[in-house]
Amino acid sequence: MTRASGVMAKRATANRLEALGRPDLLLVSFLKQALRRPGCSLCRVLRDADLHYLRVFLREGKDDGRMLLRLLGSWGLCARHANGLVQLEPPERGDGLGTGTLYDWLLDYARRRLEDLRWDLGTDDRAGSPQWRRRRNPRQRMGRLLRRLARTTPCPACEAQQRYTEYLVEGFVRALEPASGLPALQEMYLASEGLCLPHWQVVLGLRPSSGVHELITRKQHEVVASLKAALEADLDRGVSREVREGGPKQEPGFARALAAAAGDTTWQPPER
């Protein structure tokens, strides 16, 4: 290790320790709200952030020049987030004007790219074309034209969520550390339904202090035991009979076990 890199490493450690004592208060507030509600609190904060992103995108974000350039590379949002826009705009704005305007623009762009492709295909018939030298490898040429219609950058909403996930999980671990001076958050976590399995793994991957590691492991083992008990109870009660008799369509044990195993991080409209 060189002297400069050693100094930088020491500075990074110092910054990290300093940061441990100063959790983001807004994030702590979000976490407290989420810990009072059922389900994985990290999933809930992420869902809320996802909805917030879509709202801001709909109101202002999509009209920003740099964002428009990005959307040309990603061809709009991914299917999951685009579906979110379609579900969100009518109840909030009364119509699909914002999303429609954006996708009209993207559709025009796609139609122009398609016209280029068709023009190129058409010129194959024209013997003696002055551009014949460029037409020796039609497969390669088609590949190049098709790539202009393919996604080259990821969905901006997915990228934002990815960045926020890292920030949120680190903030959560930091807030549980005794150095943060937030004992109430530890208590709230212990009283909550715990984390989903994917978030449990991500949190452990951050290598928290041994005290916090132990706290999380103990709590999460309780969560898994409770989920197993809920599934057993569902089986004992005879789910098929309940379903036949028109009982509750969704068993709480199933719903909890499935959400805990997969996580639930993207905003979806509430069931009606």
Partner 1 sequence: MAHALTLARWKAALDMPGCPVCRLAQEAGRDFLIHVLREGKAHAEVYERIREAGGFCEDHTRILLRLGAERLGDRRSLARLYGWLLADFAPDVSANAPCPACEAAEAYERASLLALRDLLHPITGDASLRKTFEAGPGLCQPHFVAGASVLEDTESLRALTAVQARAWDTLSRDLKEYLRKHDYRFSREPKTPAEENSWIRAVATISGTLGEEKGESD
Which residue from 14, 107, 184, 191 is in contact with partner 1, where contact means CB under 8 A?
107
The minimum distance between CB 59 and partner 1, in angstroms, equals: 17
CA 249 to chain centre: 28
**Total residues binding partner 1 (CB under 8 A):** 71
Instruction: Choose the binding region for partner 1 from 1-9, 54-62, 106-114, 164-172 (rule: CB under 8 A).
Output: 106-114
CA 45 to chain centre: 11
Residues 50-69 contacting partner 1, CB under 8 A: none
The minimum distance between CB 116 and partner 1, in angstroms, equals: 10
Residue 127 sits at the vertex; the CA angle it makes with 133 and 112, to the nearest 5 degrees, is: 75
Interaxial angle between packed helices 183-191 and 25-35, expressed in degrees from 0 to 180 and rounded to the nearest 10 = 30
- The Cα 41–Cα 176 span in angstroms is 13
Pick the closer one to partner 1 by CB: 68 or 204: 204
- Closest to 50 measured CA to CA, from 181, 155, 150: 155
Interaction of residue 204 with partner 1, rule CB under 8 A: yes
Which residue from 48, 198, 206, 215 is in contact with partner 1, where contact means CB under 8 A?
198
Residues 116-135 contacting partner 1, CB under 8 A: 117-118, 121, 124
- Closest to 42 measured CA to CA, from 168, 178, 210: 168
Which residue from 19, 20, 72, 106 is in contact with partner 1, where contact means CB under 8 A?
106
Whether residue 82 contacts residue 98, with contact meaning beta carbons closer than 8 Å, is answered with no
The minimum distance between CB 215 and partner 1, in angstroms, equals: 14
Q: What are phi and psi of 189, to 5 degrees?
A: -65, -45
Residues 207-266 contacting partner 1, CB under 8 A: 217, 220, 224, 227-228, 231-232, 234-235, 239-240, 243-244, 249-251, 253-255, 257-259, 261-266
The minimum distance between CB 56 and partner 1, in angstroms, equals: 18
Whether residue 223 contacts residue 193, with contact meaning beta carbons closer than 8 Å, is answered with yes
Give every CB contact of residue 96 below 8 A, 6+ residues apart in sequence.
86, 89, 90
The minimum distance between CB 19 and partner 1, in angstroms, equals: 25
Which residue from 111, 134, 135, 207 is in contact with partner 1, where contact means CB under 8 A?
111
Whether residue 43 contacts residue 77, with contact meaning beta carbons closer than 8 Å, is answered with no
The minimum distance between CB 209 and partner 1, in angstroms, equals: 17
Interaction of residue 197 with partner 1, rule CB under 8 A: yes
* Residue 117 vs residues 109, 112, 142, 145, 177: alpha-carbon distances, Å: 13, 9, 7, 6, 58
| Tokens (6 digits) for 50 | 């996802």
| DSSP single-letter state for residue 38 | S
Interaction of residue 108 with partner 1, rule CB under 8 A: yes
Which residue from 149, 153, 159, 191 is in contact with partner 1, where contact means CB under 8 A?
149
The minimum distance between CB 17 and partner 1, in angstroms, equals: 25
Residues comprising the chain, all counted: 272
Interaction of residue 13 with partner 1, rule CB under 8 A: no
Which residue from 42, 82, 88, 160 is in contact with partner 1, where contact means CB under 8 A?
82
